[in-house]
Amino acid sequence: MREAGFAEHAVGLWQAILELTLFQSGTIDSATAREEVLSAFMDFWDSEVARVGEVGAKGWRSGHNTLLEPRSFTPRLRVNSKSIFASWMSCEREHIHNARLPARSLDEENDDPYRVVLSTDLREVLSLVWGLASTDVLVDSFLYFCHLPPIAFSNDSKKTNHWMGDSFLRNEFMSSSDPALDRWVHKWNTNTRTTASVPVYFQNFVHSFDTLFADHEAWFSSIGPWATAVLNSQSDVDPEWVSKVLRSLVEAMPRNDHLAAYSIAVEFACDRIKAAKYAKSLLKKRPSSLWLYNVYALIERRSGNLEAADRVWETTLSMSQNSKTFTEREKADSVLLWHTYIWEMLEAGSLDYVSYLFNSIPQSSPSLKAPVDPKQYIFSPTSLLKTHNLLSDIQEALLAAGNANTFVACVDCLAILAYLSKSRDLNKALQPYSNAFDRLATLPVQFESFRSVSIELLHQARARLLYYHARTSSIYKPSQIRALLADSISLFPHNTIFLSLFAWNESRFRIEERVRDTIMDITTKAHNRADQILTTQVPITSHLFSIFTELNRPIYAGSTPHSVRAAFEKAIGDQDPSTPTHYNTVSTARSSLTLWKLYILFELSQHDINRAKDVFYRGMRACPWSKELIMLAFSHLRADIIQERYPGASRKGDGMNFLELRSVYNVLIEKELRIHVDIEDELDEFVAEMQQKTAALGLPIAMPEDADSEDERM
């Protein structure tokens, strides 16, 4: 619905679904008939008070929502008959941005009937979500709608994590107006090859605490790519609305610290000052949440307030061990704070201080100030044994509790402890991971969900230590790094952390074929994993990663425009198995708007305008519901834009002229896609003027063909 141009209707549906399922009126109980509930909700909706995500919204159940003031919208731009399509595109963009959220019947806007979402528009969909069994799936579904990654630690995360590779969902970059391919597919160079996290704008991994607040220079960031995509005036997602909705969800789920931490991470990506204030306000309501204290400390550190961050960690760790307000399970979560602080110091290069932190773990009231006595930086046999035994005991407790994120953090602490106490011996550091894998293998079948998430998280934690070791150690074995990453890829072939690190490791030594062979394998075969959800599909993220590696492959290693096109064509797939170009992919990504847009941008980067137009028409036929894909004709393929951006000498073909653009505009009408600024009359007048001028010159009249999209040329 949003991709067809009806963004306010899509948002309105989500507002209604969330209000009905999570903020249901307190006067309604489980015995109330469905029709009665829906009727009461329709009355709430028709009252036009503030709804979830809007200023003053408190949820349907509160009964005290604010009645919004009428809004007015005065367009700044007008259609200019002298540059009709160029000016129309700007006007249309202005109206699209204004229509990201539903209007109210009293708003002083134009008479666009689609701007107001009526209760009658909602009933059919709301009937489908009645009695929804899992709020976790609902929340993750909403996050996907907002182009955000799912929350990894819900009961249904195994199911929703698969959607990260869905070609229909992963279209977060369609509303960007940037004309260049390099904007979204950065090429490695001498600078960016020092980090593996640069290329992953199309992510597919388990989003943990480590990635939510990651420094993108040091590790993979869950929210960073989202912020890049939506924090511009043309995004189809309103980040402020998303932030407000998440805050409301946090209020509705007061015991869900994972959601609270996630909400703060999104807030932090948009506004760091607001995020710090929000974290403080949540801590006042949840004073025993070690997760939130850890989040607040990280916010202070990311904002440059290092001493303030240290004080938060020190105070919280001491409080968690001595205060009676914390349960034993909550106290076990303190390992997450130690783990975060240790990694922050590792990345800062303070290895001696990390040793001191490990020595401080067994203390009931740890002081995290740098000690004067240098002996406190040294591992003694006694201190090492105390720390190791305590972490081992906590690990067992977390294993029994089924707490995946904190369990993995504890294992990672044991690995780093072994790494530093054994003179940065990587083999010694790997042993705790192996022990944890063996321990998980002994769990009964009812722990399967916990086990599968924990194993992938353990591999990600191990990969992080490998990455750190490769960047900071002067002596290491690339073959060992390669073998360990290959092991992770064999288990999780589409995890973009492992794929990125594998490509990064090989690129440092100019060994390109191993990467190509690995990518060829994962994009050609269906891997038989233990879970059976979407196991036959090659995720769009893997195809996009294949294209990325091909774009970055040196010419001497066989990279040409033809090899990049082959990667695109493999992702799109060939429907006819008898053709020589058929690719043995189990499923294709023909429905991926992102793929088609990148393919068009690639051909434009090659100055091959004819190919770009051909790809555009193919994409339009493959995804006839997408307004944004069709809008590329006006924003990227218009003749005047092509002439301006691409020199005539190197250009193959010309951009779309008036008649071609009018034909594309007619497709928008034929497919009943949303048009905010109707210019049919202006186009008819312009054509009539052209015909008059042509007739006056005695030339034959060429009428434009209003071709149906199904008849467009390939």
Q: Give pLDDT tens digits for 474-497.
A: 888 889 999 999 999 999 999 999
Average pLDDT, integer, range 270-287: 94
pLDDT band at 187 (very low <50, low <70, confident <90, very high): low
The first and second tokens of residue 104, run together, are 């109210």
Q: Cα separation of 48 and 657, whole Å?
A: 45
pLDDT band at 651 (very low <50, low <70, confident <90, very high): confident
Per the listing, tokens 């960016």 go with 192
pLDDT at 610: 96
pLDDT at 219: 92
pLDDT at 185: 60
The DSSP string of 376-410 is GGSPPHHHHHHHHHHHHHHHHHHHHHT-HHHHHHH
Average pLDDT, integer, range 36-56: 91
C-alpha distances out from residue 693 to 83, 85, 463, 555, 700, Å? 18, 20, 69, 52, 11
pLDDT band at 525 (very low <50, low <70, confident <90, very high): low
pLDDT above 60: residue 705: no
Per the listing, tokens 């402890």 go with 417
652: helix, coil or strand? strand
pLDDT band at 609 (very low <50, low <70, confident <90, very high): very high
pLDDT above 80: residue 701: no
pLDDT above 90: residue 68: no
Average pLDDT, integer, range 367-372: 72
Average pLDDT, integer, range 303-328: 87
Average pLDDT, integer, range 628-655: 92
pLDDT above 60: residue 361: yes
pLDDT band at 714 (very low <50, low <70, confident <90, very high): very low
pLDDT above 80: residue 355: yes
Average pLDDT, integer, range 322-328: 76
Average pLDDT, the chain: 86
pLDDT at 517: 81
Average pLDDT, integer, range 504-519: 77
Q: Cα separation of 169 and 205, whole Å?
A: 16
pLDDT at 574: 56
Which helix (H) or strand (E) is 242 found in, with range?
helix 239-252
Which residues lie below 8 Å from residue 307, measured CB to CB, with a gap of 6+? Answer: none
pLDDT at 514: 80
pTM, two decimal places: 0.91
pLDDT above 80: residue 632: yes
Mapping DSSP onto H, E and C, the string for 24-85 reads CCCCCCCCCCHHHHHHHHHHHHHCCECCCCCCCCCCHHHCCCCECCCCECCCCCCCCHHHHH
Q: Cα separation of 269 and 574, whole Å?
A: 40
Q: Give pLDDT tens digits for 674-690.
A: 999 999 999 998 888 88
For residues 400 and 527, the model is more confident at 400
Q: Give pLDDT tens digits for 195-253.
A: 665 545 688 999 999 999 998 888 999 998 888 888 876 788 999 999 999 999 999 99
Percent above pLDDT 70 for the chain: 86
- Among the residue ranges 44-48, 192-196, 261-265, the one predicted with the least confidence is 192-196
pLDDT above 60: residue 534: no
Dihedral over Cα of 227, 232, 238, 243: its sign: positive
For residues 29 and 424, the model is more confident at 424
- Among the residue ranges 172-176, 229-233, 351-355, 527-531, the one predicted with the least confidence is 527-531
486: helix, coil or strand? helix
Q: Give pLDDT tens digits for 561-578.
A: 999 999 999 999 855 443
DSSP 117: P
Q: Give pLDDT tens digits for 161-170.
A: 888 988 888 8
Residue 23 has, within 13 A of its CA and on its CB side, a CA count of: 28
pLDDT above 60: residue 642: yes
Q: Give pLDDT tens digits for 385-444.
A: 999 999 999 999 999 988 899 999 999 999 999 999 999 999 999 999 999 999 999 999
pLDDT band at 655 (very low <50, low <70, confident <90, very high): very high
Contact 235, 43 (CB under 8 A): no
pLDDT band at 556 (very low <50, low <70, confident <90, very high): low
pLDDT at 36: 86
pLDDT band at 194 (very low <50, low <70, confident <90, very high): low
**Helices 448-472/426-441 angle, 10° precision:** 170
Q: Cα separation of 483 and 136, whole Å?
A: 36
pLDDT at 292: 95
Q: Cα separation of 166 and 369, whole Å?
A: 48
Nearest by Cα to 456 from 443, 440, 467:
440
